[in-house]
Structure 1
Amino acid sequence: MPRSLPPVAWFRAFEASARHLSFTAAADELGMTQSAVSQQIKALETRFGTELFTRKPRGLALTDAARKLMPQVGSALEMLQAATLALDGPPEAELLTVASSVSVASWVIAPHLRDFHRRHPQVRIRFASAIWPDDFQSAMADVEIRFGSQRQVGQSALPLEPSELVALKSPMLEGKLEDLPLIESVGTSVGWDAFGAAHGLGALRPRLYVDSYGMALQLAAGGSGVALVTALLGRDAVASGQLVPAHPGSLAPREGYYIAVRDTVPAARAFADWLDARLKQG
């Protein structure tokens, strides 16, 4: 049985890094942190079992494996972009388009969507899954919920709270945090090592790696381990009893979720105000 393909996000990080010969320049282009790009490259190298870059004091150099991979990855990403633009046309005149990650749509918006429809029955919503800058561009959304730093998402975007990182697990999973399987989201700047250092727990080593907070929460809810995620995504699961804190402490993040609204669209402002009110209810 053939092995599953690595995430497209890893290939994006590789292609941008190979083109710029710099993790920093690739991070700026993709709207990510340099650390996140480096982690995704390391994950891809681990998956292939070979180095793709030679790290030098003043930049990067492609290995032979990377030179073979680069043209095929570039061509594949161009085909994906063309296919997306061909099918993802402009939104309909009276349709509100909300662009966000699947994690935000599933864990933050979905639990309360019925309330929004009750308050605004005339508004139809189209959700567009978006993570990367070009995803948001092609979505042409009225509301954008992005992940990153304030500098990356733009000064006009407003932060969504709570943003601190918390450790969550299934109520069926028992044991001390240090003894449980830890789940870490690749692509963020702060992880279990920082959490352990902040709370005197020593070196905490993850056993499971995922590419989104949403997947980390899903695994935690299934009893597979403890997820270190933003409190924004986990609050409703905790309120419903689906997840419980695995440790009383929290950790300040370096990135968070931000919302930007097209103010010329009344429904967009109504959605943003509704979401803000729901989050402030605690």
Structure 2
Amino acid sequence: MIDFEWYRSFIGIYKHGSVSGAAKARFMTQPAMSQHLAALESEVGEPLFTRAPRKMVPTDKGKELYTKLVPLIENLESTTQEIKQTSNHPSEMPLIKLGSPVEFFTGRVLEKVRSLDIRYLVHFGTAPTLLNQLIHEEVDLIMTPKKQTVTGIEYTRLEVESFVVVAPKNMRVEEELEDIEAWLQEQAWLSYGLDLPIIRRYWREHFNKRPDIKAKHIIPNLQSILKAIVRGMGISVLPKYLIEEAVEEGKVQILFPEASVGNALYAAYRIDQRDEPNIKSIVQQWKK
């Protein structure tokens, strides 16, 4: 007779790509995890993984079993979560560990999720850091501008943020500038990173090439970049939601507003948490 825990161990190994990673996530010893897998493979009658150095690669039978098991396990866990929530005292709101870039959380997430009856334990970080935290179950849900193919992780697109060139209010630009690229190259640029993130995309979309510029200042925080622009330290490419108030107050200006660039933002969560009610509530809030 198959033990339900064998299935949970199999799914854990599939998600983490290793016995050690799955054992750590399930607070089990590696020998116990290996015994679960061996017992399930014996019951199935063939290997579910190919053992490679530092990685467990699922076989075709392993992929087939995972595809069939996950919806069933998700339904069981979702039902348990719903029962747990309805049995809680009304004052005991559920807790979600939410990861997000700090600027996006402040500029968009707060407004979207503030009305939900959920408590938040917020983690701030870059996209790679947040994804790693999600994989290792340190957070339940992340908001990220990067969609990467990772086993066991699912993405839902939330929105496309629009980025524009932002400059100090007193900067003067000729109304009919013939060579916009040449003019932009002469300016003092503020960038989020050395590789000119989003600035590089802006250049490729509007000038069909990589930017031939070097940032004057590297400031790894979009809100700080905005403050630097207000103080006349340079120009940058920033999301519209971040600069709305500064534009209305006359502190900065948008240059070449017709030349914007879009950047998709996603909610990411572990597949086995897809039907978790609170994660679904947060994702669905974007559709309202």
Structure-1-length-normalised TM-score: 0.48
Q: Which has the higher contact order (CA 8 A, sep 6+)?
A: 2
TM-score normalized by structure 2?
0.48
